[in-house]
Amino acid sequence: MITVFIRTIIIYVFLIAAIRFSGKRQVGELEPTELIITMMLSELASYPILDKDIPLSYAIIPIALLLCAELIISYVSLHSPTFKSLIAGKPSYIIMNGKLSQKELSRQRLCLSELLCALRQNGISDIADVDCAVLEESGKLSVFLKPEKAPITPERLGVQSERSDVAHLLIIDGRVSKDSLKNSGWTLSRLDGELKGRGIKTKDVFLFSLSADGKILIIPKEKQK
């Protein structure tokens, strides 16, 4: 058992180092530690299911150990930027002030065609339009256009824009959402009053939506045959 325990720690640390050194392009959506946890957990969980000779404890203990390690690492990462950059890496500036850094590109083992592909995926057809491109720790490319190519915003036009708050869904499938009710500033009695005024019961409402400007949308439940 202790051999399994120590092996789990060694493999975990080794995988973090391996993913970290393999570059950001391997990571994708997840952080290195999250990716490793996902990989290892699925493998660990499947072994005792497939092989009845393996005791359950051989999966349960390493899984619990990995989850604890993940929680501890994420906590330490949150409080120590140095540790975070050691585990997850730092964002890499591939294009800075409109200038492509070939050194950074090769350091990230990205070829030009891959960079152009990532730019196209961001809706940019010409690299000359890019002011700044950052390869994030997660492996995603964040792109910022040059000011003259950036989309027009109300701020740039000097126009005052109205806030577009999300609508509050007060009733979903006959159930009142207390959190939405609290966020909307409405009370339960006000909601009941509104429904009574329209001659409908809470349980008969499929959707009650309240927009930021006070507009109400009620969709009653369809009668089941």
Partner 1 sequence: MKIFIIALIILIVLSSSVILSTRSTVSMCNELIKEAEALPRNITGADVSAFNIKWKEYKPFFCITVSHKETDAIDDTLTKLSADIKSGYEEGYVFSREALISTLERLKNSESLSFDRIF
At 96, is the secondary structure helix, strand, or coil?
A: strand
Provide, rounded to whole angstroms, the least separation between the CB of residue 48 and partner 1: 10
Q: Is 10 in the site for partner 1 (CB under 8 A)?
A: yes
C-alpha to C-alpha distance for 162 and 46, rounded to whole angstroms: 53
Provide, rounded to whole angstroms, the least separation between the CB of residue 31 and partner 1: 17
* Candidate list 13, 17, 49, 67; residue touching partner 1; CB under 8 A: 67
Q: Are 146 and 131 in contact (CB under 8 A)?
A: yes
Provide, rounded to whole angstroms, the least separation between the CB of residue 84 and partner 1: 15
User: What is the x/- site pattern for partner 1, positions 93-122, by CB under 8 A?
Assistant: ------------------------------
Q: Is 81 in the site for partner 1 (CB under 8 A)?
A: no
Q: Are 27 and 37 in contact (CB under 8 A)?
A: no
Provide, rounded to whole angstroms, the least separation between the CB of residue 50 and partner 1: 13
Contacts for 56 with CB less than 8 Å, ≥ 6 apart: 48
Q: Interface residues for partner 1 in 158-217 (CB under 8 A)?
A: none
Q: Are 108 and 93 in contact (CB under 8 A)?
A: no
Q: How far lies 97's CA from each of 9, 55, 137, 145, 148, in Å?
A: 43, 58, 20, 10, 13
User: What is the x/- site pattern for partner 1, positions 22-61, by CB under 8 A?
Assistant: ------------------------------xxxxxxx--x
Q: Is 68 in the site for partner 1 (CB under 8 A)?
A: yes
CB closer to partner 1 out of 10 and 13: 10
* Candidate list 15, 30, 41, 65; residue touching partner 1; CB under 8 A: 65
C-alpha to C-alpha distance for 128 and 119, rounded to whole angstroms: 11
Provide, rounded to whole angstroms, the least separation between the CB of residue 195 and partner 1: 40
DSSP assignment of 107-159? HTT--HHHHHHHHHHTT---GGGEEEEEE-TTSPEEEEE-TTTSPP-HHHHT-
Pairing of strands 168-172, 175-176: antiparallel
- Chain residues in the site for partner 1 (CB under 8 A): 1-3, 5-7, 10, 52-58, 61, 64-65, 67-69, 71-72, 75
